[in-house]
Amino acid sequence: MTAAVGQLSPAAVREPWDGGSRLFAAGGRAGYAGHLAAYGPLPGHEPRGTLLAQLQASGLTGRGGAAFPAGPKLAAVAEAGGAARYATRPSGPVLIANGAEGEPLSFKDATLLHNAPHLVIDGLLATAQSVAASAIYIYTAAGNLDVVAAALAERPDAAGVILTESPDAFVAGQASAAVNFLETGRAIPVDLRRRLADSGFKGRPTLVQNVETWAQVALIARYGADWFRAAGVAGDPGTRLVSLSGDVPAQQVLEVPGGAPLTDVLATAGIRHDAVAAVLVGGFHGRWVRPEGVVLSVDEGAAGLGAGLAVRPGAGVLHVLGPGRCGLAATADMVDYLAGQSARQCGPCMFGLPALADVMRRLAGGGSGGSGRGGAGAGAGVAGPPLDPGLVDEVGRLSRLVSGRGACHHPDGTVRLIASALEVFADDIPWHLAGQCNSGHAGHAAVGLAGVRDQPGRVPAEGGRR
Amino acid sequence: MSADSRREAAARLHIDWTRCDGRGLCAELLPEALSRDDWGFPLAAPGRLAVDADKSNVPLKHSELGAAADAVKLCPVLALRLARP
Amino acid sequence: MWAFGRASGFASMLLLSASVLLGILTRSGRPLVQLPRVSVSLLHRNVSLMAVVFLIFHVGALLLDSYAQLHVTDVFVPFLGSYRPFWQGLGTVALDLLAAVVVTGLLRHRIGQRTFKLVHWLSYAMWPVAIAHSVGNGTDGTSAPVVAAVVVVSVAVVAAVAWRLSAGFLETARLRQLHGQWRRP
Ligand code: SF4
Ligand code: SF4
């Protein structure tokens, strides 16, 4: 508790997982007063570098998907900002809170912004002060603008924060796409010559972090690295928000500690283990797993500690596939969606993903007369003509062809999803090739894509609490 | 040759996928380093890069530097640049 | 001088036409039978530069020629000349356009792809103007071999432009259409 400077002693903040939430400690839809009451004021003028040191020591990783360590990222920006201090043009670092949440199965960022916007703002302001930032942006989807604007308006210190609406597109949340959008109005990724930390928005050092990461920064700024590390495991300290969807009793956002066993998380949400065939971890760029023995951790080395298979939580999506659902069909729907979300500027992505979607669609369609969509009946064992066994090889060939060949990681993420599907649903493939699917095809996509996004439950006031 | 050639790379040829139109001039100039994929876009020759590597930066040998410089000059859409290690 | 001016103008017209053809071929991404794409691209550049050289001869010769009564201003500002000002003016227009295309072409790496491409489109405007100038202004404009040459290059360029606008123009068109036509589900 070395750096606990807030009025509130860290002990007064309920520990997460053992009966409380860090990020939602101020309750649902917390206003500024409630926020201050729960967390205390943001520590004032800290000696330069204190926040950075605490952040480095905390081991916080980005919560947007790539899980890049937040400390080194801030250090790079601070260093570039320091070097540019004597430049003639305004050149201080630019801070961007990325709440675009293009991932269709994710709603934890929206939940956070609706319920604890002040933590996000605190994280930005504390960092802005420590690196002498020249601009602060919150970039988020249309549905979150009003609450964030209200939060900005009700506090005295946030006049400099600029709120910008992000387009509703999968790649709009990619860091270089966010910067590109703020500069040019086009939310598509760019081929970076230099790191954003060195030269991002208008050539200034730029730090793009997911909104949840900024909220965690706010907590570390108040309570310090040791407090942060009290939750989670050494290789993945702190807590993270996950969006739980799919064949579940209720879609909800949970706050879970790093290294949490997946079965425990599902049990917390009241999901019996026999109600789960597989879980998509991390979102459309994540991977399918069978939950037994899986821990959610950014530290893939954790597997060696007897903790089970460590799976990176990515954007924090947990999407449950119930028994009787066809994983290949669900994956094919997702690849279809991803192919449609290519920014269509990099050849291998623009042509390769539709080709992959096509092959996956055919593979998934085995057993339902080739379409796989539109619900070929809920019954098991739907029969259709046998498929070309070369389809699986073609998936592999196209995957190798597109991976690593784009200006962003969209092709790589798509390939990762497909590879995990072929692995986890390997037993289903021979059946599909023979023209039989043992699961129904009852429009999984309806749950996967439309269901989540259009839910008013995207902002569950109590979603994060347990 | 994979691991060694990666260490020995005299430079890397960076492909800006947002520009490249797959016209294939670079693959002609650097036949040993690049081939073309199904759609005509440059593809690092087998063994040049690990399967999961970032294939936008193709390692080059010393003997290929001249041809690579030509490719950078001649690419019709300015999609290439040389990155020295 | 007069004869030399006419001959070099004629040569320049032929080279420009060849350059337009090669440019379109370059854009298609296809090799020319045995000639690799790189060579097609280089040939396009070199033929264009040769056309410029002959154009300099053409203009230079006529500047020196007393009969043509060409002034330095006529080289840059169209429609002021004394000898068939309209047709001569077209030549000036074509020359100005060509200068823009060539200069931006040579400075491509400096000025960036976008500007280069925009200016390079002017080639399609420059070529018919140049042809009109050589037919309308040339004193041989009605002689059989010149007419024949103009007809041949015109047919070739018009056909190439039609090909340029057709769906199968790109070398990789077929496969790209297969996958690129893909729509969101
Ligand atoms: S890889 Fe795909 S999604 Fe990413 S920038 Fe290129 S075209 Fe867009
Ligand atoms: S020469 Fe340029 S446009 Fe052509 S394939 Fe190579 S990088 Fe792409």
Q: pLDDT category, B22, cuts 50, 70, 90? A: confident
Closest residue in C to B80 (Cα–Cα): C109
Are residue A215 and residue A251 in the same domain, yes or no?
Answer: no
Q: How far apart are CA A388 and CA A409, in angstroms?
A: 30
Q: How far apart are CA A209 and CA A230, in angstroms?
A: 23
Atom of ligand 2 nearest to the CA of B40: 5
CB pairs under 8 A between A and B: 55
Q: What is the pLDDT of residue C100?
A: 93
Q: Which ligand is nearest to the CA of B27?
A: 2
Distance (angstroms) between ligand 2 centre and the Cα of B24 equals 5
For residue A98, the Cα-to-chain-centroid distance in whole angstroms is: 11
With CA atoms as reference, report the closest residue to A322 among A291, A363, A368, A361: A291
Residue A92, domain member (yes or no) = yes
Q: Which ligand is nearest to the CA of A175?
A: 1
Q: What is the pLDDT of residue A270?
A: 86
CB contact under 8 A, C175 and B39: yes
Q: How far apart are CA C28 and CA C37, in angstroms?
A: 10
Distance (angstroms) between ligand 1 centre and the Cα of A177 equals 10
With CA atoms as reference, report the closest residue to A215 among A349, A98, A305, A328: A98
Q: How far apart are CA A318 and CA A266, in angstroms?
A: 9
CB contact under 8 A, A354 and C179: yes
CB contact under 8 A, A347 and B49: no
Are residue A312 and residue A402 in the same domain, yes or no?
Answer: no
CB contact under 8 A, A351 and C183: no
Are residue A362 and residue A317 in the same domain, yes or no?
Answer: no
Are residue A249 and residue A301 in the same domain, yes or no?
Answer: yes
Residue A293 has pLDDT above 90, yes or no: no
Distance (angstroms) between ligand 2 centre and the Cα of C170 equals 14
Q: What is the pLDDT of residue A432?
A: 84
Residue A249, domain member (yes or no) = yes
For the stretch A60-101, pLDDT in tens is: 999 988 888 888 888 888 887 766 555 555 678 899 999 999
C144-171 burial, b if ≥16 CB within 10 A, otherwise e? eebeeebeebeeebeebeeeeeeeeebb
Residue A271 has pLDDT above 60, yes or no: yes
Site to probe by mutation for ligand 1, drawn from A103, A170, A171 as the one with most ligand atoms within 8 Å of Cβ, is A171
How far does C24 lie from chain B, in Å, by closest CA?
A: 12
CB pairs under 8 A between A and C: 24
Burial class (CB in 10 A: 0-12, 13-18, 19+), A164: middle
**Domain end position, chosen among A198, A231, A264:** A231
Residue C15 has pLDDT above 90, yes or no: yes
Which of A337, A339, A445 has the CB atom closest to C182's CB atom? A339
- Per the prediction, chain A carries an average pLDDT of 79
Is A346 at the interface with chain B, CB within 8 A?
yes
Q: What is the pLDDT of residue A1?
A: 27
Residue A294, domain member (yes or no) = yes
How far does B77 lie from chain C, in Å, by closest CA?
A: 6
Phi-psi group of A82: left, alpha or beta (phi > 0 → left; psi -120 to 50 → alpha; rest → beta) = alpha
Distance (angstroms) between ligand 2 centre and the Cα of C28 equals 13
Any bridge partners for residue A353, and if so which?
none
Total tally of structural domains belonging to chain A: 3
SS3 label, residue A451: helix
CB contact under 8 A, B24 and C176: no
Is A186 at the interface with chain C, CB within 8 A?
no
Residues of chain A in contact with residue C180, where contact means CB-CB under 8 angstroms, are 350-351, 354
Q: pLDDT category, A464, cuts 50, 70, 90? A: very low
CB pairs under 8 A between B and C: 38
CB contact under 8 A, A352 and C176: no
DSSP assignment, residue A457? G
How far does A241 lie from chain B, in Å, by closest CA?
A: 29
Query: Which stretch of A184-198, A206-220, A278-292 has the lowest confidence by average pLDDT?
Result: A184-198
**Which residue, by CA, sits nearest to atom 4 of ligand 1?**
A408
Residue A452, domain member (yes or no) = no
Q: How far apart are CA A200 and CA A207, in angstroms?
A: 8
Residue A457, domain member (yes or no) = no
A364-378, C146-160, C167-181: range with highest mean pLDDT: C146-160
Q: How far apart are CA A428 and CA A381, in angstroms?
A: 11
Are residue A331 and residue A243 in the same domain, yes or no?
Answer: no
Residue A450, domain member (yes or no) = no
CB contact under 8 A, A336 and C179: no
For the stretch C48-79, pLDDT in tens is: 999 999 999 998 888 887 777 777 787 888 78
For the stretch A116-149, pLDDT in tens is: 999 999 999 999 888 888 899 999 999 899 999 9
Q: Which ligand is nearest to the CA of C37?
A: 2
Domain that holds residue A310: 233-321
Amino acid type, A394: E
Whole-number percent of chain C with pLDDT over 90: 33
Residue A273, domain member (yes or no) = yes
Q: How far apart are CA A107 and CA A463, in angstroms?
A: 10
Atom of ligand 2 nearest to the CA of B24: 5
Which helix (H) or strand (E) element contains residue A262? helix A262-268
Q: What's the start-to-end Cα distance of chain A, in Å?
A: 25
Residues of chain B in contact with residue A359, where contact means CB-CB under 8 angstroms, are none
Are residue A85 and residue A155 in the same domain, yes or no?
Answer: yes
| Three-state SS letters, chain C | CHHHHHHHHHHHHHHHHHHHHHHHHHHHCCCECCECHHHHHHHHHHHHHHHHHHHHHHHHHHHHCCCCCCCHHHHHCCCCCCCCHHHHHHHHHHHHHHHHHHHHHHCHHHHCHHHHHHHHCCHHHHHHHHHHHHHHHCCCCCCHHHHHHHHHHHHHHHHHHHHHHCCCCCCCHHHHHHHHCCCCC
Question: What is the CB < 6 Å shell around ligand 1?
Answer: A 171, 188-189, 342-346, 349-350, 406-408, 410-411; B 17
Are residue A116 and residue A227 in the same domain, yes or no?
Answer: yes
Token representation of residue A158: 């946030």
Q: What is the pLDDT of residue A430?
A: 84
**Domain end position, chosen among A175, A209, A231:** A231
Closest residue in A to B54 (Cα–Cα): A404
**Which residue, by CA, sits nearest to atom 4 of ligand 2?**
B23
Any bridge partners for residue A309, and if so which?
A294
How far does A406 lie from chain B, in Å, by closest CA?
A: 6
Distance (angstroms) between ligand 1 centre and the Cα of A171 equals 8
Boundaries of every domain in chain B: 3-83
Residues 6+ apart with CB under 8 A from C43: C22, C35
Which of C180, C183, C184 has the CB atom closest to A350's CB atom? C180
Are residue A54 and residue A153 in the same domain, yes or no?
Answer: yes
- Most A CBs within 10 A among B37, B51, B82, hence the mutation to make, goes to B37
Are residue A209 and residue A160 in the same domain, yes or no?
Answer: yes
Residue A369, domain member (yes or no) = yes
Any bridge partners for residue A325, and if so which?
A440
Residues of chain A in contact with residue B38, where contact means CB-CB under 8 angstroms, are 351-352, 355, 401
Q: How far apart are CA A175 and CA A186, in angstroms?
A: 13
State the sign of the Cα–Cα–Cα–Cα dihedral A255, A218, A159, A180: negative
- Most B CBs within 10 A among A171, A358, A405, hence the mutation to make, goes to A405
As assigned by CATH, the class of the B3-83 domain is alpha beta
Residues of chain B in contact with residue C109, where contact means CB-CB under 8 angstroms, are 73, 78
DSSP assignment, residue A303? G
Prediction pTM value: 0.81
SS3 label, residue A76: helix
| CATH assignment of the domain containing A337 | 1.20.1440.230
The set of chains that have 3 or more CB pairs under 8 A with B is A, C
**Domain end position, chosen among A267, A302, A321:** A321
Q: What is the pLDDT of residue C174?
A: 61
For the stretch A410-462, pLDDT in tens is: 999 999 999 999 999 988 888 888 777 766 544 443 334 433 443 333 333 33
Instruction: Calculate mean pLDDT across residues A165-175.
Output: 86
Question: What is the CB < 6 Å shell around ligand 2?
Answer: B 15, 20-26, 42, 75-77, 79-80
